[in-house]
Structure 1
Amino acid sequence: MVGLFALCSTARAQSVAAGTGHSLFVCASGNVMTVGQNTVGQLGDGTTRQRQLPITVPSLSGVKAVAGGDETSLFLKTDGTVWGCGGNTAGQLGVGDQLNYSTLVRVGTLTDVKAIATGYRHSLFLKNDGTVWTCGSNQGGALGTGNTSAYLTTPMQINGLTGVVAIAAGYVHSLFLKSDGTVWGLGQSLDGELGGGRNEEILKSPTQIPGLSNITAIAASREYRAHSLFLQSNGTVLACGSNYYGGVGSGTPGATMRVNTPTPVAG
């Protein structure tokens, strides 16, 4: 841990992201450093060697944001293009195939992107015009294609979804924060993570989550037994989904297995 903090301090990390077993750091220079598991090349160094100290990703500069998935890494450049590496078994890198990559590849032909997110096996891309594009696993309808076909290997726009200012990708669900403070969701609400009293229900098109207003930030866990978090403008936090590990903060872990409507986090 001493080496990690020393290197990041020297590089002046400006933005960070965590995958399932790896971490990403955007430095003040616009370069990116990565560390951790590298089983399918998610560190972007051309190898599958695990790293215990951060390394600089070769040939990558001008980055302003990073996102880490299960075994996938995404990098948003200042020019609005997106690049990635690592796991691509469901097409979550958007390059038109299902091959894993240990070196950087460009995500489709996307431009004008301002935010990125990647979940268990799917990725989301928010453009400056408020539209959202997606690729990867469509399990539970998480891609918003109107069906539950297996996957998309190139990014496709989610129809009927506009005015989005923030995105979050979970296990088999996706969240979208709109400029009016409402939150919309897609995918399967396995344990209530899409609110609305839903358990096991599949949403194939963007649907507003009832009971949420004045929301300023969202987050979604990408592990099985997923949950969702919503930050209100008054500083309070609401949560819904699985409480198997106590993720929604509603008391003793496992005591309430599912919270299927957004509920204030205790304390």
Structure 2
Amino acid sequence: MTEWTNVVAVAAGNVHAARNTGRSHSLGLCADGTVLAAGWNAHGQCEVAEWDEMVGVAAGWRRTLGVRADGSVMAIGRRDDGACDVEGWSEIVAVAAGDWHSVGLRSDGTVVAKGLNTRGQGTVGGWTHVVGIAAGYLHTLGLMKDGSVLACGDAAAGLDETRRWRGITAVSAGSHHVLGLTEDGRVLAGGNDSLGQCRTQAWRDVVAIAAGSTHSLGLRSDGLILTTGLKGDGQGQWMQADDAQSGYA
């Protein structure tokens, strides 16, 4: 990835933490609409060299999704679970990839999903007025125009809390937890907090968020990155003077 240039967006193939996982891939969306990929390629998820006219990408456990400028969606990787069966989607403006399901946001604010639905994570058929989406291990989030949040799937990921959130401008889904960025720069979190991944209560002036498998990141307006949760593999190496703010130094 040291040779990647003109990249305008990136995506990481996040996976839930288990003994049969841990391998993933990374994507880069270039300014000219092409896509770069590196990492685990056992299911062909990195074979995107022919893709063009892309405006968005998402990386799942064993697949890659791409939104084209015409609103259609391309998918490559493992097809066994149905999460790559997105060829019929149209008018898509954004995609999200969970472990075994794919989610698409349409230009009219409705949402579509493909793949496994074991915990109801694909039950998005009635969603409307959605402006943002996120997909976790077995759950899906939809950010509504009014700042509230829709959620479906595994309730243990904090979905009941999420449905009570208001004034949200962005959402992110980890393996078993969820994050919400508020209008005033705070970060709300719900779900599994066994490794401190939800300890964001002290964070302020945050402008962007990301939820990993068992950690959380927040980008502050001054450029500092806040992190909390599992740091055993270096996930927290950006944290410097503000370790105490994370609540899980």
Q: 1:245 matched to which residue of 2?
A: 233
Residue 76 (structure 2) pairs with residue 35 (structure 1): yes
SS of aligned partner of 1:7: coil
Q: Which runs of 5+ in 2 are unaligned?
A: 1-36, 39-45
Residue 227 (structure 2) pairs with residue 210 (structure 1): no
Deviations 1:43-86 (A, max 9, x none): 01xxxxxxxxxxxx332111000000011100000010000101
The percent of aligned pairs where both chains have the same amino acid is 36
**Normalized against structure 2, the TM-score is what?**
0.75
Q: 2:93 matched to which residue of 1?
A: 64
Please report how far the alpha carbon of residue 38 of structure 1 lies from its aligned counterpart in structure 2 after TM superposition. 2.1
How far apart are the structure 2 equivalents of 1:250 and 1:111?
37
Q: Contact 2:74–2:87 at 8 Å: present in 1 too?
A: no
Q: Contact 1:193–1:260 at 8 Å: present in 2 too?
A: no
How far apart are the structure 1 equivalents of 2:89 and 2:59?
18
Residue 246 (structure 2) pairs with residue 262 (structure 1): yes
Q: Which runs of 5+ in 1 are unaligned?
A: 45-56, 95-106, 146-156, 196-208, 252-258
Please report how far the alpha carbon of residue 39 of structure 1 lies from its aligned counterpart in structure 2 after TM superposition. 2.6
* Larger-Rg structure: 1
Deviations 1:184-239 (A, max 9, x none): 111121101011xxxxxxxxxxxxx32211111101113xxx00010111111111
Q: Residues 117 and 260 of structure 1: is their aligned pair in 2 closer, same or farther, counting only changes over 3 Å?
A: farther
**Normalized against structure 1, the TM-score is what?**
0.70
Residue 137 (structure 2) pairs with residue 120 (structure 1): yes
Q: 2:160 matched to which residue of 1?
A: 144
Deviations 1:110-166 (A, max 9, x none): 111000001111111111010101010112x51125xxxxxxxxxxx712x111000
Counterpart among 108, 112, 118 of residue 125 in structure 2: 108
SS of aligned partner of 1:194: coil
Return the structure number with greater strand share: 1
After the TM superposition, list the runs of 4 or more consecutive aligned residues in structure 1 that deviate by more than 3 angstroms.
1-6
What CA RMSD, in Å, does the superposition of the two structures yield over aligned residues? 2.4
Residue 18 (structure 2) pairs with residue 18 (structure 1): no
**Structure showing greater relative contact order (alpha-carbon pairs closer than 8 Å, 6 or more residues apart):** 1
Q: Residues 250 and 60 of structure 1: is their aligned pair in 2 closer, same or farther, counting only changes over 3 Å?
A: closer
Please report how far the alpha carbon of residue 250 of structure 1 lies from its aligned counterpart in structure 2 after TM superposition. 6.4
Q: Contact 1:194–1:260 at 8 Å: present in 2 too?
A: no
Please report how far the alpha carbon of residue 260 of structure 1 lies from its aligned counterpart in structure 2 after TM superposition. 8.8
Q: Contact 1:240–1:261 at 8 Å: present in 2 too?
A: no
